[in-house]
Amino acid sequence: MNRIQVSVPGGTYPVIIEPGLLPSMSQHIEEVHSGRRGLLVMDEQVEHPHGEQLRAEFGEAWHLRTHLFKATEANKQLDSVASIYQSALSQGLDRGSLIMGVGGGVTGDVAGFAAATFLRGIDLVLIPTTLLSMVDASIGGKTGVNLPLPDHRGVGKNLAGAFWQPKAVLIDPLVLSTLDPREIRSGVAECIKHGFISDPSLLDFIRQEHAAILQAESETITRLVSRAVQVKVDVVQGDERESGRRAALNLGHTFGHVIEPIPELDLRHGEAVAIGMVAAAECACRLGRCDASVVGVTREMVSLMGLPADLPAEQPVEDLLEAMRFDKKTRDGHLRLVLPGEAGVDLIEDVPEEMVRAAWLAVGATT
Ligand SMILES: NC(=O)c1ccc[n+]([C@@H]2O[C@H](COP(=O)([O-])OP(=O)(O)OC[C@H]3O[C@@H](n4cnc5c(N)ncnc54)[C@H](O)[C@@H]3O)[C@@H](O)[C@H]2O)c1
């Protein structure tokens, strides 16, 4: 069993990684939470393969109710949180109760936001079931939902939310056996990002083991998850609320968040981040922060793992720039971007819009 401790001002909790952990979850939960009443907020895609086994494991001492959730980006919204509140009230949850989020990043973000706000905050345990949520979304305490933008200008990612640390993150890499290969690739995008921001040897590992990773081979995936979780934990521990170093985790995200909700592009989160990392490298190169080899390596890693490096369909560059202005990383109308440099990545204030336009054009946006 690999146990990585997270220690931030908002809480100290374990991330436990072990193939075959699912049938012994309750034991780990009882170590961090003393109540026996809870709500399982479960992705409905996860219910069929894993739900029964998970519930059976808790036994009669627990009063559990399952709230099934259709995990789509479109459902990552306030109505879904309100519906969880209703289930929590029906189940009689009180301040000593627990919400468990079982699913990918969408489920974890929505269940986490419900836990952060129901009765002004109750305990949360996350059981991530996608590679992306194992290595990224479930760690660090960011929860939230998307909001519709004014004047029907689409959807803004994660514009309402809270920092709310879980009591534990319990990872069973064997649940990835039921995950679509496209979702595995999407999760690898965040692992590549972790490599670029602080562990180049993780990039070498992904290169060497790419075939086994893409087949979700249990031992290799477990090693990948453990290494990528460690990077995320190290970054989050240095900066819980994203006032400094944690911003590095947004590499590719300010670009990616703009394209992820566009229905015609049909991009998974990690796919949007992959294109976003290429755009960030193109932008950095134009700003003279790095040479063209950084663009080359980014494109090479992304393509090796079967991820898109360019926009899959036409998008007018002006629309993309307009949507970017609503991102949380924009301050007083100035674009702030995490960009690669000669040594790691940095948050760059006030990036000239011309450079961002050129970066979008370099990944296929149209004039
Ligand atoms: N909170 C954070 O710090 C953070 C960080 C990164 C990403 N995110 C968020 O995470 C979300 C993306 O997460 P995701 O990629 O996990 O998407 P997701 O939750 O939509 O899951 C992807 C798909 O896999 C299905 N699924 C989940 N587990 C499964 C399993 N074991 N077997 C079969 N199917 C399964 C889901 O139903 C869904 O269709 C985005 O909304 C993003 O903003 C949050």
Reported for 286-293, long-range contacts at CB under 8 A and 24+ positions apart, including other chains, are 286/355, 286/358, 286/359, 287/339, 287/348, 287/351, 287/355, 289/339, 289/340, 289/341, 289/342, 289/346, 289/348, 290/340, 290/341, 290/342
* pLDDT for the residue 255: 96
Supply the DSSP string of 102-169, one letter for each residue: EESHHHHHHHHHHHHHGGG--EEEEEE-SHHIIIIITSS-EEEEEEEPGGG--EEEEEEEEE---SEE
* pLDDT for the residue 153: 76
State yes or no: is 120 an active-site residue: yes
How far is it, in rounded angstroms, from Cα 143 to Cα 157? 12
* pLDDT for the residue 139: 97
* pLDDT for the residue 333: 65
Rounded to the nearest integer, the mean pLDDT of the chain is: 94
Of 323 and 168, more confident: 168
Among the ranges given (56-65, 96-105, 122-131), the one the predictor scored with the smallest mean pLDDT:
56-65
* pLDDT for the residue 169: 98
State yes or no: is 63 an active-site residue: no
* pLDDT for the residue 332: 64
Q: How confident is the model at residue 244 (pLDDT cuts 50, 70, 90)?
A: confident
CB 136 within 8 A of CB 232: yes
Q: Calculate mean pLDDT across residues 26-41.
A: 96
Nearest CA to ligand 1 atom 2: 137
The structural domains of the chain, ordered by start, are: 2-179 (3.40.50.1970), 186-362 (1.20.1090.10)
Q: If we measure between CA atoms, which residue out of 153, 194, 38 comes closest to residue 101?
A: 38
Q: Calculate mean pLDDT across residues 35-39.
A: 97
Each residue's pLDDT tens digit, 220-233: 999 999 999 999 99
Question: Which residues' Cβ are closer than 6 Å to ligand 1?
Answer: 43, 45-46, 71, 73, 76, 103-107, 109, 129-130, 132-133, 136-137, 140, 142, 157-158, 175, 178-179, 183, 186, 268-269
Q: Is the pLDDT of residue 134 over 70?
A: yes
Q: How confident is the model at residue 243 (pLDDT cuts 50, 70, 90)?
A: confident
Question: Residues 6 or more apart from 219 whose CB is under 8 A from it?
Answer: 19
Each residue's pLDDT tens digit, 200-212: 999 999 999 999 9
CB 88 within 8 A of CB 113: no
Q: Is the pLDDT of residue 110 over 90?
A: yes
Q: How confident is the model at residue 270 (pLDDT cuts 50, 70, 90)?
A: very high
Nearest CA to ligand 1 atom 30: 179
* pLDDT for the residue 100: 98
Q: Calculate mean pLDDT across residues 92-120.
A: 98
- Map residue 353 onto helix, strand or coil: helix
Of 351 and 154, more confident: 351
Q: Calculate mean pLDDT across residues 101-108.
A: 98
Q: Calculate mean pLDDT across residues 344-356.
A: 92
Q: Is the pLDDT of residue 54 over 70?
A: yes
* pLDDT for the residue 38: 97
Helices 218-238 + 181-198 axis angle, to 10: 40
Pocket test for ligand 1, best of 6, 50, 130, 221 (most atoms within 8 A of CB): 130
Each residue's pLDDT tens digit, 293-334: 999 999 999 999 999 999 999 999 999 998 888 776 666 667
* pLDDT for the residue 228: 96
Q: Which atom of ligand 1 is nearest to the CA of 76?
A: 41
